[in-house]
Chains A and B, each alone.
Chain A
């Protein structure tokens, strides 16, 4: 069952998504906290609420240890310290947040176009792949059998 994130959870998720993948002027790319991408993150996260919420709770626990303030209320510098500690102490939880951020970011049309990728699923068009140079097999053919006889 899908469960909605609380406002506090959503705020923290947006901040950490942007810390994982920020916007880039160099590549003309949005950050993962871009409205459209973040809506996808919230939607997708709702379908796997428990691990995402648990990861955010672990992040908050780290913040409490460091300064007794929620993650979203920290200064930029303090957030960076908190995230460093969080990634060190909670490798798996950090992986959960990185995974959902990445999964949603790298299917956004703007991101795909920036990577020269088509904005479509693999099916039904598929992709072209070069046949390749099968003459490369000649030295292998010439090498002779390498399997063991058993009788």
Chain B
């Protein structure tokens, strides 16, 4: 079958699988499906990054975190970015649009979900259980770990034992030692974080050299962004990756099955590609945006949206920041941001009367900041004045800040949602996503608890002063829940292996399909899910659409 490529008068063979998005999940599913030898094409709105141009290579490395490497697409405003209408959201979206997606800018904190995270309804009577469990994902977590490369330490009492292959953990450093002693004083759990950062050479990547600039791209290549992990393997296996191609909508035939996509190439030329299978991998905002923009006679409310749930139940993970100021000099910005985690308050504990919320949170313990961030933090928190006292006050903070963020489980609520903005459009004229999101009372209570407990442990560690922020407004790193999975087509968008209930050749593999958010960073689970779904697809190739 051939299809006209609009605007150029060219034709191309219909492909077997079209993947939209080359980030965490798109890369994983592309690599996994490559062994089928099907014709696979991935469309990505951004391009390949050049690590030689990452901020850590220049003296302005801190400043670029608030310009071309900002986590906010509304600040970056690069050609690959689309604007987001988020005035109506208590938390602002963080993303990155390039091959590798959000993994280019993430810190590499790489925890798994817990068994209990898949059973929140059964255990705690809230939200819903997932249609799969930890054991279903366990082999795919392990497979993903091999591809990404994980540093850490086996034996964390907060998790069941696993057979993950781990490189040695990141160094504790002075900051880690000081904070660990605080946790030990209180008898609280802590454990070196699993991180997607190579601490020894791994799969052609060199080891971490403590640049301390993980969140603006790793110039060393030690951090596992999928442009340097999955994609080289997927491309060698035959997957075609088309960059600077922004999808406008998924096309359908008269029966309502997906037939491919219409997209704009790097020159702004409208093109159409036909595919037998379409896989969405655009994150919890990008995926519902495209689905909602794919209206047709068969799908008048947007594609795969007979439940009305596409875009609903958006979950972010409300974050609280609690930073201590110490008298002694610590690591400052030197070294990866994350050191260890604490899940002392992770699992619901009815016996703990200090908790007036359900579910829980993780403390991600962090090293310090560079001088610019230190100064700006001090100015914003009233610790550094304008004028004559600046220098003395700055020296009390320089290399003396260490602390943590609390990542709180965000429970799904239907009113938190992604819709299409009626006015705002991207550079290709595609409607921008509009975010409506409020913090729940449960989230507020959880953050209050986290701030109190973090302050307690920072004091135990010797902090002489504490700075807090809750929520971190510009902290919507994790985009989940907007095309949730489930067995009931009335209450979910995709089934238990990622296939749309409504459109049997349409799959979703990104964080959109999360039923709940857990209280940990989602990337490792997003990728394990993508590999799980790819496996289910491969097992069903003969009757994939039955």
Q: Which residues of A contact B58 (CB under 8 A)?
A: 121
Cβ of A90 < 8 Å from any Cβ of B? Answer: no
A19 and B63 within 8 A (CB):
no
- Chain B residue with Cβ nearest A105: B375
Once A130-B172, A130-B174, A133-B172 are accepted as A-B contacts, the answer to whether A147 and B116 lie under 8 Å apart by CB is: yes
- Identify the 6 closest CB pairs spanning chains A and B, nearest first: A132-B172, A126-B209, A127-B334, A103-B63, A106-B371, A129-B335
Q: Which residues of A contact B387 (CB under 8 A)?
A: 19-20, 22
Cβ of B176 < 8 Å from any Cβ of A? Answer: yes
A105 to chain B, nearest CB (A): 8
B349 to chain A, nearest CB (A): 9
A73 to chain B, nearest CB (A): 20
- Chain A residue with Cβ nearest B178: A132
Give the one of A117, A127, A143 with max B CB within 10 A. Answer: A127
B-side interface residues toward A, CB under 8 Å? 54, 56-63, 66-67, 114-116, 118-119, 122-123, 133-134, 153, 155, 157-160, 171-174, 176-177, 180-181, 183-184, 187, 189-192, 209-213, 219-220, 331, 334-335, 343-344, 346-348, 370-372, 375-376, 379-380, 386-388, 390-392, 398
A47 and B376 within 8 A (CB):
no
- Give complex CA distance A40, B126 in Å: 54
A111 to chain B, nearest CB (A): 8
A122 and B61 within 8 A (CB):
yes
A141 and B372 within 8 A (CB):
no
Q: Which residues of B contact A120 (CB under 8 A)?
A: 59
Question: Contact string, A113-132, partner B, CB cutoff 8 A, digits 1/0?
Answer: 00101001111111111111
Q: How many A-B residue pairs have CB under 8 A?
A: 171
Q: Which residues of B contact A26 (CB under 8 A)?
A: 391-392
A60 to chain B, nearest CB (A): 18
Q: Which residues of A contact B63 (CB under 8 A)?
A: 44, 103-104, 107
- Give complex CA distance A144, B157 in Å: 6
Q: Which residues of A contact B213 (CB under 8 A)?
A: 122-123
Q: Which residues of B contact A77 (CB under 8 A)?
A: none
A145 and B157 within 8 A (CB):
yes
B184 and A102 within 8 A (CB):
no
- Chain B residue with Cβ nearest A44: B63
Q: Which residues of A contact B210 (CB under 8 A)?
A: 126-129
A2 to chain B, nearest CB (A): 13
- Give complex CA distance A40, B118 in Å: 52
Write 19 A-B pairs (CB below 8 A) sorted by A numbering. A21-B391, A22-B390, A47-B67, A48-B67, A103-B62, A121-B58, A123-B220, A124-B220, A127-B211, A128-B334, A132-B174, A133-B177, A136-B177, A136-B181, A140-B183, A146-B158, A146-B343, A147-B116, A148-B116
- Give complex CA distance A133, B176 in Å: 9
Q: Interface of chain A, helix or strand or loop or mixed?
A: loop
Q: Which residues of A contact B173 (CB under 8 A)?
A: 129-132
Once A99-B66, A102-B375, A134-B172 are accepted as A-B contacts, the answer to whether A121 and B57 lie under 8 Å apart by CB is: yes
B376 and A99 within 8 A (CB):
yes
A127 and B347 within 8 A (CB):
no
A21 to chain B, nearest CB (A): 5
Cβ of A95 < 8 Å from any Cβ of B? Answer: yes
- Give complex CA distance A141, B153 in Å: 12
Cβ of A55 < 8 Å from any Cβ of B? Answer: no
B184 and A136 within 8 A (CB):
yes
- Give complex CA distance A24, B390 in Å: 9
B391 and A27 within 8 A (CB):
yes
Cβ of A7 < 8 Å from any Cβ of B? Answer: no
Q: Which residues of A contact B392 (CB under 8 A)?
A: 26
- Give complex CA distance A88, B220 in Å: 43
Cβ of A98 < 8 Å from any Cβ of B? Answer: yes
- Give complex CA distance A47, B67 in Å: 10
A123 and B57 within 8 A (CB):
yes
A129 and B177 within 8 A (CB):
no
A147 and B158 within 8 A (CB):
yes
Contact among B123, B370, B386, B388 for A98, CB-based, below 8 A: B386
Q: Which residues of B contact A145 (CB under 8 A)?
A: 157-158, 160
Once A121-B56, A121-B57, A147-B157 are accepted as A-B contacts, the answer to whether A22 and B388 lie under 8 Å apart by CB is: yes
Once A98-B379, A99-B66, A107-B59 are accepted as A-B contacts, the answer to whether A147 and B114 lie under 8 Å apart by CB is: yes
Contact among B116, B176, B191, B390 for A20, CB-based, below 8 A: B390
- Give complex CA distance A139, B185 in Å: 10
Give the one of A98, A120, A147 with max B CB within 10 A. Answer: A147
Once A127-B209, A132-B176, A133-B177 are accepted as A-B contacts, the answer to whether A147 and B189 lie under 8 Å apart by CB is: no
